Chain A
Amino acid sequence: MSEFINIVKDHFTWRTQIFKLAVSDLKQTYSGSAMGWSWAIIRPSVTLFVFWFAFSVGLRVRQGPDGFTFFQWLLAGMVAWFYISDIWKEGANSMRRYKYLITKLKFPVATIPTFVSISKLWVHVGLLILVVIIYMFYGNMPDVYYLQLLFYMLLMFLMGTGWALLSATLASLSKDFLNLVRTFSTAIFWLSGIMWDPKTPRLQDKEWLQNILAFNPVTYIVSGYRDSMLYKVWFFEHPARLLIFLCELIFIWVLAVWVYKKAKRDLPDVL
């Protein structure tokens, strides 16, 4: 607990540096290449196009679930996934990437995953605005339900940052862990109901699958984004799932702080 308070204090004391490092992290991701910022849009667009092409053209899934076109339905989930996959992979790598902050300078190490997470969140906000504009062309105008996107975004950010602190610490101690995390990225994508509808009737009788999905935080966030923009469902209409997510969030943070506390003194020595 005291370690958690220390971490929060460090974040407060170094807040200006954290934001500056987040800006620089963002700049670095895209600057230095001739096309610069356009990569922030090109990359997700290509991914989106590939999936849309494979499903709509290749597999002839024109109609998405519940009367939406497949493209529309996919969009809401994918926009959340792009942040999740970024923080899943880059979060784990954050301390290794910013090694010089740990081994060469006196810097609060626990804030490294945070500024990386903030940097990814800004990309996410930009993409989300784009998605909202696309929806407006489809005639899906923003309404009061869109406000809860902020709520889901906050949950996603807190979960992502906690995960990043945990995985970055472990990845600093062992490169194997980093590879393990990267390997599982694709698996999580296909298992979390981003490309297929977890609520589809075909899957309803498979109770074990429903149970797994109910405990999958990625599914919760992705469904939340769809609820806000497509299904118009409030977050309090699924209180049990929210509760599960919050418990997992607390669990991840407790574990992350505990591991960080045990390992922090070794980090400058092993990196």
Chain B
Amino acid sequence: MEMIEKPVIEFKKVTKKYKLYKSDKRRIMSLFTKKVKGRQKVALNNVSFKVMKGESVALIGSNGAGKSTILKMMTGVAYPTSGEIVVNGRVSALLELTSGFDPEFTGRENIYLKGQLLGLKTKEIKEVEDRIIDFAELNEYIDQPVRTYSSGMKARLGFAISTNIETDILIVDEALSVGDAAFKAKCKQRVAEIMAKDGVTFLFVTHSGNTAREFCKRGIVIRSGKLVYDADIDSAIAEYEKTLGLRKSDHETKT
């Protein structure tokens, strides 16, 4: 029987513009009157792509190209200015691992809070609680407020929570390079484990090609808010590095 597969992630002509105002006062004024106008900065320009179930895709682009904007909209945190975004399934995002905690809560309380916000029942969280604490290697610190954690501890907890909750879509930022070498290796292994599961869609965000090649089969290159290339990983990296070279020589001629 042939099945028409629905994409798990679909961006349809997505544009994101940030409104910039001279002051916060003008931002408030702009709610009430059309006379006050701000400047607009285009962060993403008419981006369309589809990701199918079980695919592993790298989003490649230099800093400021619009990768984080794409991720924020994918996770439903930010809204597109125009266009449509469809996401089917639970997203677990490993971005900015150190944030997204309530600093006054203990590590354990934060596990529950995050789980609840992701729509898990208390019972389900209890089942993974020990695994998370074990993985994060926090030991007795788990019952201390998160504000007392070092950034490495926060990142470990963030990683442990995001990778131990059942997900359909796993998004990993290059922020993976947290902690010491041993923990890094552990993270990579865990990501590989999740990817080996059936039907988990994987998105990797990076500004360098090498790690992407390890995990991904497909690459999407983003440059200045536009999708410029979308094909297999090797040619995507080649394309990305070519433009990097271009930019470098640009820079050299200027200086």
**Which A positions have Cβ atoms within 8 angstroms of B?**
16-17, 20-21, 24, 28, 32, 100-107, 170, 173-177, 259, 262-266, 268-270
In the docked arrangement, what's the CA distance between A153 and B113, Å? 29
Expressed in whole angstroms, the Cα–Cα distance for A263 and B101 within the complex equals 24
Task: Indicate which residue in A17, A103, A176, A269 contacts B116 across the interface (CB closer than 8 Å).
Answer: A17
Q: Which 6 A-B pairs have the closest CB atoms?
A: A174-B24, A104-B100, A106-B76, A265-B79, A28-B104, A268-B78
Q: Which residues of B contact A175 (CB under 8 A)?
A: 24
B110 → chain A, closest Cβ, in Å?
10
Cα–Cα, bound, A21→B100 (Å): 14
In addition to A104-B96, A173-B27, 12 A-B residue pairs with Cβ atoms within 8 Å of each other are A21-B113, A24-B109, A28-B102, A28-B105, A100-B101, A100-B102, A174-B28, A176-B24, A263-B31, A265-B79, A266-B19, A266-B27
B248 within 8 A of A: no
- For A263, the chain B residues whose CB sits under 8 A away are 31
> Are B116 and A32 within 8 A (Cβ)?
no
Query: Can you list 13 A-B contacts (CB < 8 A)?
Result: A20-B113, A24-B109, A24-B113, A105-B77, A173-B28, A173-B31, A174-B24, A174-B28, A177-B28, A259-B31, A263-B31, A269-B19, A270-B27
CB within 8 Å of A: which of B71-116? 72, 75-79, 96, 99-102, 104-105, 109, 113-114, 116
Q: Find the A residue at minimum CB distance from B69.
A: A269
Residues of chain A with a CB closer than 8 A to B24's CB = 173-177
Q: Within the complex, what minimum Cβ distance (angstroms) separates B154 from chain A?
A: 12
CB distance from B76 to the nearest CB of A (A): 4
Instruction: Encode contact with A along B161-179: 1 for CB under 8 Å, 0 otherwise.
Output: 0000000000000000000
Binding site for A on B (CB under 8 A): 18-19, 24-25, 27-28, 31, 72, 75-79, 96, 99-102, 104-105, 109, 113-114, 116-117, 145
Q: How far, in Å, is B13 (CB) from chain A's closest CB?
A: 17
CB distance from A169 to the nearest CB of B (A): 9
**Does A20 lie within 8 Å of B104, measured CB to CB?**
no
Q: Please, which residues of chain B bring their CB within 8 A of the CB of A20?
A: 113, 116
Q: Smallest CB-CB separation from A261: which chain B residue?
A: B31
Given contacts A16-B116, A173-B24, contact A100 B18 (CB under 8 A): no
B102 — which chain A residues lie within 8 A by C-beta?
24, 28, 100
Q: B87 → chain A, closest Cβ, in Å? A: 10
Minimum C-beta distance from B113 to chain A (A): 7
Question: What are the residues of chain B within 8 A of A102 when measuring CB–CB?
Answer: 77
Establish whether residues A32 and B78, one from each chain, have CB atoms under 8 Å apart when the complex forms.
no
Q: B145 — nearest CB in chain A belongs to which residue?
A: A32
CB distance from B37 to the nearest CB of A (A): 14
Q: Are B104 and A268 in contact (CB under 8 A)?
A: no
On chain B, the residues within 8 Å of A170 by CB distance are: 28
Docked-complex contact B25 and A174, CB < 8 angstroms: yes
Knowing A17-B117, A28-B105 are in contact, say whether A105-B25 is a contact too (CB < 8 A): no
Q: For residue B75, which residues in chain A have a CB less than 8 angstroms away from its CB? A: 106
Q: Quick one: closest B residue to A102, CB to CB?
A: B77
In the bound assembly, the distance between CA atoms of A46 and B105 in angstroms comes to 28
A174's closest neighbor in chain B, by CB? B24
Given contacts A105-B77, A268-B78, A269-B78, contact A100 B99 (CB under 8 A): yes
**Cα distance A270–B28 when bound, in Å?**
12
The answer to whether A107 touches B117, judged by C-beta atoms less than 8 angstroms apart, is yes
Q: Which residues of A contact B27 (CB under 8 A)?
A: 173-174, 266, 270
Q: Which residue of A lies closest to B158 (CB)?
A: A104
Tell whether A176 pairs with B25 under 8 Å between CB atoms, given A32-B145, A104-B99, A106-B76: yes
A17 to B19, CA, bound (A): 32
**A residues in contact with B28, CB < 8 Å:** 170, 173-174, 177
Q: Which residues of A contact B99 (CB under 8 A)?
A: 100, 103-104
The distance in angstroms between the C-alpha atoms of A17 and B76, with both chains bound, is 18
Q: Are A104 and B79 in contact (CB under 8 A)?
A: no
Say how far B5's CB is from chain A's closest CB, in angstroms. 25
With both beta carbons as reference points, the residue of chain A lying nearest to B102 in the complex is identified as: A100
Give the residue of B18, B101, B109 whose beta carbon is less than 8 angstroms from that of A269.
B18
Taken together as a complex, chains A and B put the C-alpha atoms of A215 and B21 apart, in Å, by: 36
A259 to B104 Cα, complex, angstroms: 30
With A24-B105, A174-B27 as given contacts, are A268 and B117 in contact (CB-CB < 8 Å)?
A: no
> How far in angstroms is the closest Cβ of chain B from A152?
32
